[in-house]
Each structure stands twice: as structure tokens, then as C-alpha cells.
Structure 1
Amino acid sequence: MRIAVTGSIAIDHLMVYPGRFAEQLIEGQLDKVSLSFLADELDIRRGGVAANIALALGRFGLDPLLVGAAGVDFAAYGCWLRSNGVDTGSVRVSETRRTARFVCTTDADQNQIATFYAGAMTEAKEIELEPTARRAGGLDLVVIAPNDPEAMLLHADECRRRGYAFAADPSQQLARTTGEEARSLVEDARYLFTNAYEAALLRDHTGWSDGDILGRVGTWITTAGADGVHIKTAGRPTLRIPAVPTSGVADPTGGGDALRAGFLAGVAWGLGHERAAQLGCALATVVLESVGTQEYQLSADDLLGRLDKGYGAEAAQDLAPHLVRPV
């Protein structure tokens, strides 16, 4: 299955604040906040939603195609992605801008305050999918992950025009969309990914009910943190997949991307939604227990052990034939 993953390619600057943001927020003064948090730790890591998803798919041996815009400083990052099984031949490298930056501070309660600098990502709207499809001999699925908002709309439109199946993952960019744009991003998607808050935001922006949305997409996957994943398909009962227990969250950044990658890997292997979501939940715990979104280490045995612990021996046995190489 050839999967093209479109979206952001970024460098993450991850900081840790040992206190609690909430203790510094004063009721009645939130309209004029002026705060500075003294961080104890700083990690600079490779990131970006599309790159995170593509890297995980690459580690599963699925040869994903990364489609996005990176900066003049992309050379080393590109080598890293290729060494992890990612095809970077469709990455547009800017001649003038630097790769996007994600600057995020996490407090003692795992709350986050972040700023995203788009940089070269603004050039993603210049990318068409057809050359990638031609080079790959066709595309079975296009993932439309958070990106330059105009690029996301253009990719969704091109998928509909050319008949490419696509997964819509509007995520953080929902906050910047109008109702018409939000409807355009998800209309006709084979898969729709949101978290619980984004699901409410999507309903608000589109004016659609859950039933309206399910009438326009194939399958709607909603992540619910410690409560796992809820999967809805029109005419079927909601499938609820509990989260895999974790030994402790080191950094929440990238957990959602890992879940999406695991789910997509399961789909690529022809597994049902239940097994695909279970794999996604298991991989998410690995990322949550690591600092950064791509530096996690995992063997097939470790991942199967997490699946066994979370869902039982049958789930691990069903996935074992596909996990023939280290992740």
C-alpha cells in the first residue's frame, strides 16, 4: 500500500517548566496575560506531524512518501528520514526559508503552551500530488495532516478531483478554518482523525452533527487521551479501544502522531479497525515515554508485549506476523 503523508516538517524546541501554568493564570486578567516561564530543560528534536507519521510508517517497513516543504537546513534531517525508510523525493526544499519551528513548554501537569513558526511550510501550497502519484506508480492513500492551511485545502481538492483516497487530519489547523474550509477539509475523507476537543470544534465550525459528519466520511477516529480511541462508522456501533497502560509520560508531544501511524499501518496490512487502533495505542505509549517525537527505541518484542498486556494474547498474535523488524 503506497501512502503519501502530507503536512508539516519541523524542528521541535521542547522545554519543561517544573511548576503549573494554572497557578499563574489569574481570573479576570486573562485578557492581558504577560507571563514568562523559566524552563529547566531544553531538547531540540526533529518533528512535524507529517514527518513524525511518515517516520513511524517507515520503521514499520511501509515505504511512505513524505510530501511537504522544508527549509535550506533540511539536508541532515532528510538523511535521518531516509535512514528510517521514508521516501523524501517529494519534499520541496525552500531556497530562502528555514524549516518550520515548533516551540513548546510543558508543565508539571503535562499541560502545554506552544508557538509554531511556519517558515518554509508556507511553500507547501506550491506542491501538487500528481507528480508524486506518477513517480510512485499510484497512491492508495493520501494523509492530509496539519500544514499550511491553503495547502491542506488544495490537497483535499486534488484528492477529490483525481480520485485519491485520503485521510483528513485537520488537528491544530481547525482553529484557523472557516466553516466552509472545515467542511472542505473533511468532505469525502476515507478516514477522519480528531481528538475529543477537535471533534467539538469541527462540529461547531461546520455546523454539522455527528450524523452529518459520518454521512460525509468513511470512518471517524477520535482520540481521547487516557480513555483511548473511539471509532465511528455510519450504521455501526461505536468501537471503543482502551489506551495501553504506560509506565509514565516523559513528553506528550507526538503521541497522537504515533497513534495515527500505528492505525494507518494496521490499515495498510489489511487489518480491521480494532487491531489497527490497538497498534496505534501501543505505539503511542512508546512515544509518550520518550522525549521527542522520533527518537524512541522499540523492538518488535517490546511492542508485542505492550499489545499482549493491553489487549491480550490474541491481539498480539494477530499483529506479530507484521512486526518482523524493529520499529
Structure 2
Amino acid sequence: MKIFVSGSLAFDIILDYAGRFADHIKPGKVHVLSLSFLVGSIKKSIGGTAGNIACNLAMLGLKPEILGAVGEDGGEILEKLGRLGVYVKAVKISHQPTAAAYILTDSTDNQIAGFYSGAMMEKVKLPKIKPQDWAIIAAENPRNMVTLAKHYQKNKVRYIFDPGQQSIVLSAKDLKFCIRGANIVIGNDYEIDYIATKIGLPQKQRSLKMWQSVVARTLGAKGSEIIYPNGKKIKIAAAKARRAVDPTGAGDAYRAGFICGLVKGFDLQQAAQLGATVASFAVEQHGTQNHRFNYDIIRSRYNKNFNNKI
């Protein structure tokens, strides 16, 4: 069984603001928004949706295969991921610079981000796949996301659809297509509500029968929830971190834990709880790939936080 991880490979430029964005945004003036924040620190690290997810999967003892692209300046990304055990030979080398995310975070973990796509706009090379494989389609070049969804559906490969910020760019038609073939749709509270609005799901149905797929909705410090196609919901508590330093990589870490649980044959509740446990390590360090653990360490924290031991 292989695990294919598609998404961005990028440099993260993370800026920390000690105040709150909300204190400077006037609701009646958002149409003429012009703000500048004095940041206390700036850090450059390796990130990207595919890189973050694959990094965590590798630390969990799995060997994911990345589908993506970097520029000629991206050698350090491939070297780092390769050392962790990620298969990077399918990654394209583009003449465009490596993608870069500029993320401004305030004291209450709200974020404002800008993203330069660069090499991410390269056309994806479709992998050779088998029905027993798993895949995750994370936010990247929208054309690649739809192309991969078609490829996985045609070959009856199970996949998680994680459109993230690209929910804004993907058309309603493409969102519906990718969702229809997915085993699981995952996103944060805002993203899931935005997608539901964009595809025309009536408000009264959003807490009932939402999609044909299972939905995993992340809720930040409040944990997450699993929503089944029949409307059944399971609440998942957040796992306790030793300290909360930076939430930036928590979402991708959650996804990696979730995938790991599915690959190991866990039920959806256990998979989501494993995701919550992995996310608790990500918030303990600045950056999205600077935390470290192994599966035994993860299992120990999981068993301290949840009753259904693994």
C-alpha cells in the first residue's frame, strides 16, 4: 500500500504580531481596509501542505510519496524530507522559484496569509496507483487537484479531499466533482462552511446530511468533529500539548495523523483522535516541520488523552 500526498512544497515566512487583528479592524471600514502591523519576530522555515503532511507521516513510521514541484532553490526541502524517509523522487524541479507562504499570526492565533505559487503551478505527473493505495489531495495548483481527483476516481483509489485555501479558487462544479469521489472531505470550520455555501447546500442541511462523503471538520482548540453522510456527528477533543507556541502546522499534522489511522485500520473516531494527538506536537514549536516524535511517543500521548487505547 502506498500513500500519495499532493499539495504545495514551499518556504514559510512566519511573522508574529503581539496584538490582536480584531482591535484594528473596524467592521464599517472593511471595504477600504489598509493596515500595517509591527511584528516582533520573523522566521523562515520549510513548509507547504504536501511537505507538512508527508513530514508528519514519515515521523509516524510511514513512507509517503510526494507529488509536487519545487524550484531550483528547493534542494534543501527535498533533502530534509528525504532524510525523514519521504519518497521525493517524483517531485518535479521547475525553472520557477519554489512557492512561498507569508503568514502573519496574532496573539489569538488568527492568521493573515499571502502565497506565491511559483513552481507549484507545474503540471502534476500522474502516479501509477493501485486500489489498495490511499491519497490526499491538499491545497495546491487547482488544475492539479481536479486532475488527481479524476485519476483516483478512475482507478478506484481512496482519497481525502482537503481543498483548504483553494476552495476560493475552485469552481463549484470542480468542488462538487472532487467531493463526490472522496472518501473524506476535511477542512476547518470556516472552510467547510464556505464550501457548503459555494456548492449551494441549504443552511438547514449543513448540520444534517451534508455530503456523500464523510466530513472531518477541525475546530482549533475546541478539537474537531466527524460528520457522517447520514448526519451522525462524533465530537473529538483536542489532545493536550505541553505548551502552545504556534498553531500554523496543526492542521496538516492533524491530517497526517488521520491518514495514519486509516492506513492502520482504525475507525474514524480513532483516526481523528490520532490526528488530534499529532497536531498537539505541531503547536509546541514554531514552524510547521520543526517538531519531532515517533509513533511510540504519539501512542503514549494518545493513550493519556483518550479512553479507546491504541
Taking structure 2 as the reference length, the TM-score comes to: 0.93
Q: Deviations over 1:177-196 (max 9, x none)?
A: 22112212211101111111
Partners of 2:69 and 2:186 lie apart in 1 by 22
Say if 1:248 and 1:183 are closer, same or farther in 2 by CA, change over 3 A. Answer: same
Say if 1:161 and 1:277 are closer, same or farther in 2 by CA, change over 3 A. Answer: same
Paired amino acid for 1:115:
G
CA contact (8 A) 1:2 1:138 kept: no
Q: Secondary structure at the match of 1:257?
A: helix
CA contact (8 A) 1:19 1:107 kept: yes
Match in the other structure for 2:27: 27
- 1:128 equivalent in alignment to 2:125: yes
Match in the other structure for 2:163: 170
Partners of 1:206 and 1:67 lie apart in 2 by 27
- 1:148 equivalent in alignment to 2:141: yes
| Count, aligned residues | 306
CA contact (8 A) 1:104 1:113 kept: yes
Q: Secondary structure at the match of 1:38?
A: coil
CA contact (8 A) 1:170 1:185 kept: no
Following superposition, the deviation at residue 299 of structure 1 comes to: 4.7
Q: Secondary structure at the match of 1:197?
A: helix
- 1:265 equivalent in alignment to 2:270: no
Partners of 2:113 and 2:22 lie apart in 1 by 15
Counterpart mapping for 1:90-239 below 5 A: 90-94=90-94, 96-123=95-122, 126-129=123-126, 132-133=127-128, 140-208=133-201, 209-210=205-206, 213-214=210-211, 216-217=212-213, 219-235=214-230, 237-239=232-234
Following superposition, the deviation at residue 105 of structure 1 comes to: 1.0
**Identical aligned residues as a percent:** 33
CA contact (8 A) 2:257 2:278 kept: yes
Following superposition, the deviation at residue 65 of structure 1 comes to: 0.4
Say if 1:212 and 1:238 are closer, same or farther in 2 by CA, change over 3 A. Answer: closer
Paired amino acid for 2:107:
A
Following superposition, the deviation at residue 138 of structure 1 comes to: 6.9
Q: Secondary structure at the match of 1:28?
A: helix
- 1:9 equivalent in alignment to 2:36: no
Q: Deviations over 1:174-226 (max 9, x none)?
A: 12222112212211101111111111111111113446643x32x22111112
Say if 1:268 and 1:166 are closer, same or farther in 2 by CA, change over 3 A. Answer: same
Partners of 2:70 and 2:253 lie apart in 1 by 21
Q: Deviations over 1:18-56 (max 9, x none)?
A: 122112212322212222211111111100011110111
Paired amino acid for 1:176:
V
Say if 1:233 and 1:291 are closer, same or farther in 2 by CA, change over 3 A. Answer: same
Following superposition, the deviation at residue 241 of structure 1 comes to: 1.3
Partners of 1:166 and 1:10 lie apart in 2 by 23
Partners of 1:14 and 1:22 lie apart in 2 by 19
Paired amino acid for 2:286:
V
Match in the other structure for 1:309: 304
Partners of 1:310 and 1:212 lie apart in 2 by 30
Q: Secondary structure at the match of 2:235?
A: strand
CA contact (8 A) 1:133 1:139 kept: no
Counterpart mapping for 1:24-63 below 5 A: 24-63=24-63
Partners of 1:67 and 1:7 lie apart in 2 by 7
Partners of 2:6 and 2:292 lie apart in 1 by 24
Q: Deviations over 1:128-152 (max 9, x none)?
A: 32xx226xx7761121100011111
Q: Higher helix fraction: Structure 1 or Structure 2?
A: 1
Following superposition, the deviation at residue 236 of structure 1 comes to: 6.9
Q: Secondary structure at the match of 2:139?
A: coil
Partners of 2:235 and 2:9 lie apart in 1 by 31
Partners of 1:33 and 1:235 lie apart in 2 by 42
Bigger shift: residues 189-198 or 28-37: 28-37
CA contact (8 A) 1:10 1:48 kept: yes
Partners of 1:66 and 1:184 lie apart in 2 by 23
